[in-house]
Chain A
């Protein structure tokens, strides 16, 4: 079955370390997104990519970096510059620009920085 795989489900890191969250999709979607969820707040957009080798900053990109070398993969790196990295991170994908059809979410990664 097609879908989005995020790994790992839970991740613990020491303060000051970079960490990379994986997101893989086999839906043949062109667009991919990273969202962050904090308690009591709606999901907020970190980065998105509409096509391979291209990506744009979202609303809260500071302290994060991404790459899109393959259509299927959109890894997110949480750098030591991110002031408050402990959160729930969700990856999503959708069909091409100009339509909302097929918006699909992964199961998320819960990152805890100690």
Chain B
């Protein structure tokens, strides 16, 4: 079993819809990251969370440490939001800040 599980794997939405992507993990973490990967491959960091909730524009990320679960919400979705969204957990070890990644959620927003 992977340490990080994302759902759904694929998601198609209509423009304007409210979107939720879920991430569950099975180990203690120092922080959780939400990342966005566009077709060209480069990755952009959206959020880093260790507790509670963060908001940036139309994006909202929440985390429940006790339940080991995080959600990424997109309000008023737009075709430009189409990308792969990746959840990653940071685990502090003697070796520093390595991340463990989920396999990603492919989001397509249609007009």
Which A residues lie at the B interface, using CB under 8 A? 31, 33, 35, 37, 40-45, 48, 50, 56, 58, 88, 90, 94, 97-101, 103-108, 110
Contact = CB atoms under 8 A, between A and B. Distances in A.
Interface string B7-32: 00000000000000000000000110
B18 to A, nearest CB: 26
A42 B104 contact: yes
Given A42-B4, A101-B48, A56 B95 contact: yes
Given A97-B97, A100-B33, A100-B48, A42 B103 contact: yes
Which of A41, A43, A97: most chain B CB closer than 10 A? A43
The size bracket of the interface on B is: 20 to 34
A48 B103 contact: no
A41 B103 contact: yes
Interface stretch (B36-44, B56-64, B65-73): B36-44
